[in-house]
Amino acid sequence: MARSVWLRRKAASEVGDRGASRSRTQSRFAAFSGGQRGGDGVLSLNQSTMAELDEEEQFYRDTESIAFPKLDDRQLAMLEPLGSRRILQRGELLYKAGQRDIGFATILRGEVEVFELRDGQEQILATAGPRDFVGDVAMLMGTAALATARGKADESEILEVPADCLRRALVELPGVSEPIVRAFIMRRRRLKRDHEFAGLRILAEDGSRDGHQLDDFLDKNHVPHRLIDFQSEHGRALCERLHLVRRDLPALITANGLPLRRPSLREVAQVVGLLRPLAREEESEVTCDLAIVGAGPAGLGAAVYAASEGLRTVVLESYAPGGQAGSSSLIENFFGFPTGISGGELTYSAQLQAYRFGAKFSTPAQALALTLTDGEYRASLQIEGCDANLLAKCVIIATGAEYYRLEAEGRENFEGCGVYYAATALEGRLCRGSTVIVVGGGNSAGQAAMYLSEGAEKVFLVIRGDGLAKSMSSYLSRRVAAKENIEILSNTEIRKMMGGKVLEAVEMENTKTRERRTVQTPAVFSLIGARPCTAWLPPEIERDEKGFIKTGQPVAGSPAWRGRDRLPGPLETSWPGIFAAGDVRSGSVKRCAAAVGEGGTAVEGVHDVLRTYK
């Protein structure tokens, strides 16, 4: 597959033979916008930009063969019975940007080109020839296509496989599945690193809370996008062209170039295809074998195991898959990753794995109420924004827990514009070169402090106790203590937050000496413990004094279990067929790997229940 040349040099002599060679790199996805454009549109590069460019181009060279494999005769023969051949004329569309549930297309002869519309102009992203195939993970997930594909040759012949048949093939045909799935994932990774790709764009004022929320939502759901300052030259030009004014912000410019003014998260999710309709308009009920509420590590683990074992599985997530683990910048003690892995990468891979096996996700889709019965479909879920009820034979509750809010004066004024509950790459960019504050003494706080210290000038780690030994893993606490630009402030609490539209400073107090100090900072990361997300559950689901769901032996005497010919499973709740896994469960080990294991264990319990129906 040939990629169009995007990167041009000021002059080959400026960077030597290697630079001249780079200018011929056939990869649209290898573009990098680190320099400043002169009047002739050529990049002027400094040494820093050159170093970044070297790293970027090395990444694209190293991943080229993974991202763009050619299918061999055997693989084409395996796909042929699943699809149909189609003749595509020059300019005829294969699919459009924004279209969902698009089929898989491989080119048998001719050429297909993929392009995006940028400010009214077409930009060619890639050209696919014989044995190439087009698309990325949007095909796997059924989400909206990020670009448009059309015939380039006078006449092209393609093999088109419908979306549902593709997902079945990815499960049943490993010889085809591996190269396609690896290519889809790598193409999305390359696209997200491409600073020139327009994709979805958020137009917002600098420091806008609503703009940051849209940015965060798309970032945590791994949707490629850009955040554009309303007051920048580019931002003003977009506003003028699209007739946007300040009261329209934040605005989302979709892949087809149309703006959504002040969209809700649900509207954004519908545009990008994350919010899946669970039922047709005329349906009042929709059924499944297993409903999983929450897509943190426990929910994702359950989804992978359940879907791979043939259960009709629906996953409801209120914001973004991954939970608290998905916000971890680096998990270093997860089995099988000796150098660590980011929580976002780990949980996103798990989500794609669940999609591949046929699990259905809907985001944002918050479960509002759970009604319990004794029938085959023993649970009825009422879902935000859905008129139909979801009837499930079994339910796994994996809603996890949410972080407590700091009790500091003015804190509510800076939610999303200075006060954050995760330290991801997005937040890291916001506070690069600044002094930042992390509040908390657990592993999440330690990981956040270490991650932020790589870009921040100074990190204050604020803890209420005397030290980290009791609350943080020893390897991590030693690393935090040894980091030169991290300062641990023990016996300290934040009393006041100050600023205008964004956070500018905080006032802290030493609880032993009562001494107060003011620190100038644009960001406070609050990681101070969590409460379980169980308020939506009926009283039949028993909880402990802190609100965590009780399971196993402690609920054996519950009314719903009396007279039963079996005891509750270890993760089964006070109502048969309803399970709890992960942080929401009373007595659970608050570790990512433990949550994944509980998800799998809960699925085994689900199978035990379903066998009683036969």
pLDDT of 303-340, one tens digit each? 999 999 999 999 999 999 998 788 777 787 788 888 88
Interval 223-246: pLDDT, tens:
999 999 999 999 999 999 999 999
Is residue 419 predicted with pLDDT exceeding 60?
Answer: yes
Instruction: Inform me whether the pLDDT recorded for 36 exceeds 60.
Output: no
Provide the 3-class DSSP secondary structure of residue 44: strand
pLDDT at residue 444 in the model: 86
Residue 80's closest CA among 174, 140, 159, 169? 159
Give pLDDT, residue 170.
Answer: 87
List Cα–Cα distances, 571 to 291, 294, 395, 598, in angstroms.
15, 16, 11, 8
| pTM of this structure | 0.80
How far apart (Å, rounded) are the C-alpha atoms in residues 460 and 477? 14
Helix, strand or coil, per DSSP, at residue 601: helix
Q: How far apart are CA 129 and CA 352, in angstroms?
A: 27
What pLDDT is attached to residue 46? Answer: 60
* pLDDT category of residue 12 using cuts at 50, 70 and 90: very low
| Partners of 367 in beta bridges | 383
Give percent of the chain with pLDDT exceeding 90.
Answer: 64
**Cβ-proximal residues to 175 (8 Å cutoff; 6+ apart), any chain:** 74, 75, 78
Domains of the chain: 12-67 (no CATH), 73-173 (2.60.120.10), 200-272 (3.40.30.10), 285-402+532-611 (3.50.50.60), 411-528 (3.50.50.60)
- Maximum Cα–Cα distance for the chain, whole Å? 85
Residue listed under structure tokens 């010889």: 175
157 burial (CB, 10 Å; 0-12 / 13-18 / 19+) is middle
So what's the pLDDT on residue 192? Answer: 83
| pLDDT (average), residues 267-290 | 87
Task: Please tell me which residue, 415 or 81, carries the higher pLDDT value.
Answer: 81
Q: How far apart are CA 583 and CA 325, in angstroms?
A: 11
Q: Is 131 left (phi over 0), alpha (psi -120 to 50) or beta?
A: left
Q: Quick one: average pLDDT of 332-355?
A: 89
Identify residue 48 by its one-letter amino acid code.
Answer: S
How much is the pLDDT for 49? 61
Residue type, 354: A
- Band (37; pLDDT cuts 50, 70, 90): very low
CA dihedral 62, 67, 69, 75 (to 10 degrees): 140
